[in-house]
Amino acid sequence: MDTLSLLKELFLLGLFYYVLQYIVCLLLPGKSRKLPPGPRGYPVVGALPLLGSAPHVTLARLAKQYGPIMRLKMGQHSMVVASTAAAARVFLKTLDANFASRPVDTAPMYLAYGGNDMVFAEYGPKWKLLRKTCSLGMLGPAALERWAPVRISEVGRMLQSMYESSRHNQLVDIAEILSCSLANMIGQVILSRRILQTGQPEATKFKDMVVEHMTIAGLVNYGDWIPGIGWMDLQGLEKRMKNLAGRFDKMWREMVELHEATASSRKGNPDVLDGLLARRNDEDGEKITDVNIRALLMDLFTAGSDTSSSSIEWAIAEMLLNPSITKRAQAEMDQVIGRNRRLQDSDIPNLPYLRAICKESFRKHPSTPLNLPLICTEDCEAEGYYFPKGTRLMVNIWAIGRDPDVWENPTEFNPDRFMTEKGSKIQPNGTHFELIPFGAGRRICAGARMGQVLVEYILGTLIHAFDWRLPDGVEPNMDEAFGLAIQKAVPLMILVSPRLAPHLYA
């Protein structure tokens, strides 16, 4: 039987199942409960064909028609989408306990070791252990302060590399140099060593793998929503995920083996991976397995290096379109810091305009446009709607950041909106639902604090240290490439000119 005939049969079987299910629902007695409104979609596939190549944009447009809490029938599953700050508060605060776990579909099955990582682990003791361990070792406030010297050192290397590019009038690939720098920061904290060299093939390979990971993990896989056709892998996504997962797994295994072989050199000065490996022998309560460790390496290296670099790259692109923003930020820094030293963490609280630029980048270009899916574990009701167990939740963070009822001229990049008394109080930490680039509630991104610190420190340093410009005749391309994280469709390549004392780039 050829593929076309098989697809026709599957469609007819699915259509029969859909009609039968609809008739049964009509005939069964019982109290009717109000579900949120939403598009009717098509038989069998539901609203899947409506999403297109930019689901965050499509869902934002549909929300204008159906409301801020919208339900879509997606194949055999139901999905509810929250598209305003008030709607997000309903699910991530009021119903937070009901939506505290995530579905483990094809992407987390292959790219998160079956949900054995911190991001997709079921809400419970193991997830709490993984989160606590990473917070103490790397992501929490005390850990961030402890590894501040690593940030200073790696950003210094980045400045040196960019300075050398400026001397030879060479273009700087912002995405690659940021990805390399962030990966080396994470490498030093987790492994006590740098893992990449800027400009070398390994750095480009790593960046490409991370981008592929974040892109493919965000694509809509029809097999997840219509399990009956999953085995066919019609889009070829499962094959790509298996291949990518195999390459990453080889990398993580080699890292762990090398780390264990050099354990004696770190006695008295353990790093994050040493702490994780030590928990394998813990006899009390939950244990961290070898699979958990490789899954955590995947989380920390991919999300840690990609989301922050994406936010910084978008901010630089917007500032190239608005040079007055750059000049104002530089004037603020020259007044607070001067030009005879580099920016320090302690300077950032005294740089409100820099912080406003970072928040504006988080608002207009959230690194994760749609939150990672959550799943309802118990029937619940709110806002007059019923949400059955198994309902999946997406929060359209991109739409929330562009809500015209909250933000004046939302498509404009305007840091001044965060310089008012009201705007300055809005923080991207999950408590102000009009700005939730890292999510909110129990499953807020564990690296939210780290992401904010890195973006403020690295972007601030680049603004302070260099003047930027595009090659003559080139305009910044602001097209998006959708995935789990929104990348620039065309990487930003810029020319830089140093503006500080030369010895600060050494």
Left (φ > 0), alpha (ψ -120 to 50) or beta: where does 67 sit?
Answer: left
Angle CA 285–290–291, to nearest 5: 100
Selection from 364, 457, 449 nearest residue 406 by Cα: 364
**Given phi > 0 = left and psi -120 to 50 = alpha, else beta, which region is 285?**
left
> What's the rounded Cα separation, in Å, for the pair 227 and 80?
19
> Could you tell me what percentage of the chain is helix, strand and coil, using 3-state DSSP and rounding each to the nearest 5?
55, 10, 35
Pairing of strands 172-173, 493-498: antiparallel
210: helix, strand or coil: helix
Distances in Å between the Cα of 306 and the Cα atoms of 444, 487, 488 are 17, 9, 12
Residues 476-489 as b or e (16 or more Cβ within 10 Å = b): beeebbbbbbbbbe
- Distance, in Å, from the CA atom of 357 to the CA atom of 459, rounded to the nearest integer, reads 9
- Angle CA(451)–CA(456)–CA(457) in degrees, nearest 5? 100
Backbone phi and psi for residue 429, each to the nearest 5 degrees, phi listed first: -110, 10
At 111, list the tokens: 């790219």
* Dihedral sign for Cα atoms in the order 318, 319, 325, 331: positive
Which residue in 218, 95, 205 sits closest to 480, CA to CA? Answer: 218
Alpha helices in 168-266 (DSSP H): 174-191, 201-216, 222-225, 237-261
Helix 304-321, helix 352-364: angle, nearest 10: 110
Report the alpha-carbon distance of residue 340 to residue 207 in Å, rounded. Answer: 33
Please give the Cα distance from 9 to 293 (Å, whole number).
Answer: 43
The number of C-alpha atoms within 13 Å of 71 and in the hemisphere containing its C-beta is: 14
Contact of 103 with 225, CB cutoff 8 Å: no
E strand or H helix at 453, and its extent?
A: helix 448-465
Radius of gyration of the chain (CA): 24
Alpha-carbon gap, residue 447 to 141, rounded angstroms: 10
DSSP category for residue 46? B
Determine if residue 134 is labeled as part of a ligand binding site: no
Mark the binding-site residues, compressed into ranges.
445
Mark the binding-site residues for heme, compressed into ranges.
445
